[in-house]
Amino acid sequence: MDSYHSLIIARVLHVVGVVLWIGGVAFVTTVLIPALRQLPSKQQRMDLFESLEGRFGTQAKLVTLITGLSGFYMLDAMDAWNRYQQEGFWWIHMMTLIWAIFTLVLFVLEPLVLHRWFHQQAQLNSQRSFLLLHRMHYVLLFISLVAVAGAIAGVRGWTFI
């Protein structure tokens, strides 16, 4: 396969990965967590959260891995590493930062610290813990959508600067 077609495949994998990943974050943020917060029992809330979070966590890990690998492949194949030195490509910096945050959370912090910490906090004050979780997801969703919008405009030459 030639490099032109490899680059097309990488871009397809990248965009599909972003759609599944950020779309999943949007669903969790705007639908799942609000529904969990309305459950009357903290035990029901935690049981359902644990069940669904495990399934989505696997999907999120897979698509962030695909997104990261395809993104780095495209940068390398296009020899575009110098874009990190140009402020007009701020969206590449932002995409990379968001990818790094999610990768750190999904592969390191969540399994080693956050899962246990959140479970303990939810036992102490379930409402407050789910509110904090909800707010954190809104922040992540917002910055992710800014990066997506910036990337869509940026690949067409509009830099906002």
Query: How far apart are the C-alpha atoms of 4 and 74, rounded to whole Å?
Result: 11
Given this model, what pLDDT does residue 161 score? 65
- Residue 44: C-alpha distances to residues 23, 48, 133, 134 (Å): 25, 6, 17, 17
Domain segments of the chain: what residues? 3-154
CB 76 within 8 A of CB 10: no
pTM of the model: 0.90
Given this model, what pLDDT does residue 51 score? 87
Collect the ranges in the chain with pLDDT lower than 50.
none
Given this model, what pLDDT does residue 54 score? 80
CA quadruple 100, 140, 78, 153: dihedral, nearest 10: -160
Given this model, what pLDDT does residue 124 score? 93
Query: How far apart are the C-alpha atoms of 38 and 46, rounded to whole Å?
Result: 12
